Amino acid sequence: MYGIGIIKGLGVTLRNLIRTPFTIQYPEKKIPQHSRFRGQEFSWYEQRCTGCASCAKYCPLGIIRIVTDPNGGNDQDGGSYKVEVFDIDQARCMYCGLCVEACPYDALHMGTGFEAAKLTREELVLNIDTLKERAKHPSTWFRPQLERIEFDPYQEQSLDWSEAGREPFFWHPKRPAQIPDEYDHRATSSGTYESEDN
């Protein structure tokens, strides 16, 4: 019978006329993101990084550049190099997360942002100073420990380095001795470290 197709088409139009729209007026409104979103604004913790460069080796695009000084003063057993350069070229990053998976010390985490647009490619290179200074709002992707502590990356508060790892931060008995005082929240006056289990 002729005209059935037109009636069906009008039905679709009418249905959509009365349906609540699911689009939103960005940027005035934003849809809540999942905490495992893999976004820009990598979180890097210098206190956890040994300069092993596993992240750089695993990056399929080779966009992480690390320069370390083996005589950098962190000379404890199993210790770390002094990281002098840590650049991530976000202009070429595909946010695959392989660098984060490769990091054995939970020093590198995916970010949660997506609005860091810049006018030039050079401005999209994250350098070590930016990574050190920025507030840490790591994604919980590939970081089950952050979900265990119910960390919400979209909250205001920055996540401290001592809470970003899978193991307690005193896992290496000599490591805390190298940690600057401003990061050393759990040191006692006797120089020993209190376990959270106590």
- List of residues contacting ligand SF4 (CB under 6 A): 49-55, 59, 61, 63-64, 66, 88, 93-99, 102-103, 105, 107-108
DSSP 67: E
For residues 55 and 151, which CB has a smaller minimum distance to ligand SF4 in the complex?
55
Of the candidates 4, 2, 96, 86, the one whose C-alpha atom is nearest the C-alpha of residue 46 is: 86
For residues 105 and 151, which CB has a smaller minimum distance to ligand SF4 in the complex?
105
* Alpha-carbon gap, residue 81 to 52, rounded angstroms: 8
Number of residues in the chain: 198
Query: Shortest approach of ligand SF4 to residue 138 CB, angstroms?
Result: 12
Asked if residues 79 and 178 have their Cβ atoms less than 8 Å apart, the reply is: yes
For residues 35 and 38, which CB has a smaller minimum distance to ligand SF4 in the complex?
38
Asked if residues 63 and 92 have their Cβ atoms less than 8 Å apart, the reply is: yes
Query: Shortest approach of ligand SF4 to residue 27 CB, angstroms?
Result: 25
For residues 69 and 192, which CB has a smaller minimum distance to ligand SF4 in the complex?
69
